[in-house]
Amino acid sequence: MAEEKSNWFMDGFLLPLIVGSILAGVSIFFLNLLQKDYNLNYNIDGPLKIFDKQSIDGLQVNIDSTFTSDLVTYKVHLWNSGTKSIKDGLHVLCVFKTDFPRFRIFRTSHSTTPPPEFLRITEWGNDSVKAGFIYGMLEPGDEDTITFFTNYPAELSLTARGQDVSGTPSNVNPHHYEFIAIIIIVISISVSALVFMLIRIRKDQS
């Protein structure tokens, strides 16, 4: 009886765990090979209207000493999706394409991981329709969400230039590799356990 329980433990748990872990490790290894050494991804959300003339009955709102009846927001999410640090001055330029003559960027803000001090963000080339930022350092996984507040909806584009890197638009979550790795591990162990259990059951029936 003790030997039978030991065999069930070995076939039903220990062996599937070992085989599943090996399969998961091999899969994750090849998955990591697909990642580029230097790669910057970004996506843009917006425009999103906070309020307009109709919603506030034509009232004027004072924002940074400027009166407006419209407030629109955009979010630009960028992250280092490569395996190496992006340094030596990554230049990012966000440009709003519009024919509206009184278009204005009221304010920008950054929400970063890690804190902004580590990314060493400085501004450059800013005017009424564009905003530029220089990142001193972006380690793998570092990310920044830039929020813009404007007085009119417009088409927003992003250009990034730096040593060995340029920006690539992406709809992929910056942590997608972590999720994929977890899914691979769970599936590998589950499939291995099922296979070993079926083999064990057939052995017992024969």
Check residue 142 and give its pLDDT.
93
* Integer CA distances (angstroms), 113 to 9, 14, 110, 156, 161, in order: 44, 39, 10, 23, 21
* pLDDT over threshold 70, residue 177: no
Topology, domain 40-163: Immunoglobulin-like (2.60.40)
Q: pLDDT over 90 for what percent of the chain?
A: 33
Rounded average pLDDT over 85-114: 91
Domain chopping of the chain, boundaries: 2-34+178-205, 40-163
Other CB atoms within a 10 A radius of the CB of residue 144 amount to 21
What pLDDT band is residue 2 in, cutting at 50, 70 and 90?
Answer: very low
Q: Give how far the C-alpha of residue 94 lies from the chain's centroid of Cα atoms, to the nearest Å.
A: 18
What average pLDDT does the structure give for the chain? 78
What pLDDT band is residue 89 in, cutting at 50, 70 and 90?
Answer: confident
